[in-house]
Amino acid sequence: MQLQEFQAKILLSQYAIGSPAGAVAMTADEAEAAAARLNVDRIFVKAQILAGERLAAGGIRTVNSAKAAKAAAGELLGQKLVTAQTTAQGQTVKSVLVEAGIKAEQELYLSLQIDPVSGAILLTAGRGGADIEKRVAAQELKLESLALGVNGERRAGEVAELAQRIGLSGGLTTKFGELVKKLHRAFVELDAGLIEINPLVVTDAGELVAVDAKVVVDDNALFRHPELKELRDESKTDRVELHAQRHQINFVQMDGDIGTVVNGAGLALATLDMIAAAGGSPANFMDIRTTAKSLDIAQGISLVLENSRAKVLLVNVFGGGMQPCDTIAEALGIAFRRSKRILPVVIRMTGNNEDLARLRLANYNLPKTECTDMWQAVTRAVALAQGRA
How many residues does the structure list for the chain?
Answer: 389
CB-based contacts of 226, cutoff 8 Å, min separation 6:
none
Dihedral angle of Cα 36, 17, 191, 224, to the nearest 10 degrees? -60
Give me the pLDDT at residue 322, please.
Answer: 74
Contact yes or no for 173/160 (Cβ under 8 A): yes
Contact yes or no for 289/248 (Cβ under 8 A): yes
Model-level pTM? 0.66
Superfamily the domain 1-19+103-237 falls into: ATP-grasp fold, B domain (3.30.470.20)
Which amino acid makes up residue 135? R
User: Rounded to whole angstroms, how far apart are CA atoms 21 and 316?
Assistant: 53
For the chain, which residues make up each domain, given as ranges?
1-19+103-237, 21-101, 238-385
- Catalytic residues, which ones? 109, 196
Superfamily the domain 238-385 falls into: Succinyl-CoA synthetase domains (3.40.50.261)
Write the CATH number of the domain with boundaries 21-101. Answer: 3.30.1490.20
User: Rounded to whole angstroms, how far apart are CA atoms 298 and 105?
Assistant: 57
Residue 308 CA, chain-centre distance (Å), reads 26
Contact yes or no for 140/158 (Cβ under 8 A): no
Give me the pLDDT at residue 323, please.
Answer: 85
Give me the pLDDT at residue 223, please.
Answer: 79
Residue 5 CA, chain-centre distance (Å), reads 15
Q: What is the largest CA-CA distance in the chain?
A: 76
Give me the pLDDT at residue 232, please.
Answer: 63
Give me the pLDDT at residue 234, please.
Answer: 45
E strand or H helix that includes residue 63: strand 60-63
List, for the chain, all residue ranges whose pLDDT scores fall below the cut of 50.
234-237
User: Rounded to whole angstroms, how far apart are CA atoms 8 and 154?
Assistant: 26
Interhelix angle 374-385/265-277, rounded to 10 degrees, is 50
Buried/exposed code over 36-66 (b: 16+ C-beta within 10 A; e: otherwise): eebeeeebbbbbbbbbbbbbebebbbebeeb
